[in-house]
């Protein structure tokens, strides 16, 4: 594993989780809560999100093998999915979809546990983050590699927790224009990483 592998993994997971984009949604779904209550929700959401992504980091390949799916095929499919998410981020469609997920949870389910749903799933550990984690697990071999990937996930979720804690300040500092610029920039980075996933998958299929 090279330094680039670690950097790409970190950027991919962080971008698919998109902590800055979650900040206003966190404020929306925890509306009316005290600062302490929000802190408790942010801790639980981060822990649950970490557990879900760590599970797929460790067992994702085994789950694929159960269904007879090769890592190369999943790389191509996952890369296309990540590219679609990047497209949504660049054209500001992903934020609208996330807001709808949060609204449905509030109005229909009355939210017994905000930390688990919709914050941890699907806003933090959504299809994009899960797909990215499974894809990356193919590049981290052995127990040391898996431990490194889980460590990267932990760092990303810790940063997400910090964003939740600082959500009010971040929202005020960024403003609508800042959030829009940051989301588009992250979308372009994710699109490039997605194309790389597809290229690697095609190369692996042809080699096999």
Mean pLDDT, the chain, integer: 83
Nearest Cα neighbor of 116 from 58, 51, 54, 163 is 51
Residues 6+ away with beta carbon under 8 Å from 169: none
Structure confidence by residue, pLDDT tens digits, 6-39: 999 999 999 999 898 888 888 877 776 778 888 8
Domain span including residue 111? 3-16+23-207
- The answer on pLDDT for 94 being more than 90 is no
- At residue 172, the pLDDT reads 77
- At residue 105, the pLDDT reads 44
- At residue 102, the pLDDT reads 60
What would the mean pLDDT of 93-122 be, rounded to a whole number?
62
Q: 46 or 173, which is more confident?
A: 46
Residues in the chain: 208
Q: Look up the pTM and report it.
A: 0.74
In our burial notation (b when 16+ CB lie closer than 10 A, e otherwise), range 146-177 reads bebbbebbeebbeebbebbbebeebbeebeee
- At residue 103, the pLDDT reads 59
- The answer on pLDDT for 111 being more than 50 is no
Residues 6+ away with beta carbon under 8 Å from 132: 12, 13, 16, 78, 82
Domain count, the chain: 1
Neighbours of 10 (CB within 10 A): 18
Report the 3 state secondary structure along 87-111: HHHHCCCHHHHHHHHHHHHHHHCCC
- At residue 30, the pLDDT reads 79
What would the mean pLDDT of 121-140 be, rounded to a whole number?
87
CA gap 37, 118 in Å, rounded: 16
In our burial notation (b when 16+ CB lie closer than 10 A, e otherwise), range 43-53 reads ebbbebbbebb
- At residue 152, the pLDDT reads 97
At 108, the pLDDT band (50, 70, 90 cuts) reads very low
């Amino acid at each position: 594993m090279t330094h680039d592998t670690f950097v790409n993994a970190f950027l991919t997971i962080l971008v698919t989780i998109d902590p800055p984009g979650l900040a206003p949604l966190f404020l929306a779904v925890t509306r009316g809560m005290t600062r302490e209550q929000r802190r408790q929700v942010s801790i639980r959401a981060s822990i649950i999100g970490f557990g879900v992504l760590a599970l797929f980091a460790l067992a994702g390949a085994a789950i694929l093998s159960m269904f007879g799916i090769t890592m190369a095929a999943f790389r191509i499919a996952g890369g296309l999915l990540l590219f679609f998410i990047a497209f949504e981020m660049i054209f500001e469609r992903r934020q609208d979809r996330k807001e709808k997920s949060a609204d449905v949870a509030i109005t229909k389910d009355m939210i017994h546990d905000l930390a688990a749903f919709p914050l941890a799933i699907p806003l933090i550990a959504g299809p994009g983050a899960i797909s990215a984690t499974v894809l990356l697990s193919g590049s981290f071999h052995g127990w040391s590699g898996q431990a490194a990937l889980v460590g990267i996930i932990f760092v990303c979720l810790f940063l997400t927790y910090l964003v939740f804690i600082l959500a009010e300040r971040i929202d005020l500092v960024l403003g609508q224009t800042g959030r829009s610029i940051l989301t588009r920039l992250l979308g372009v980075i994710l699109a490039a990483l997605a194309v790389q996933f597809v290229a690697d998958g095609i190369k692996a299929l042809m080699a096999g």
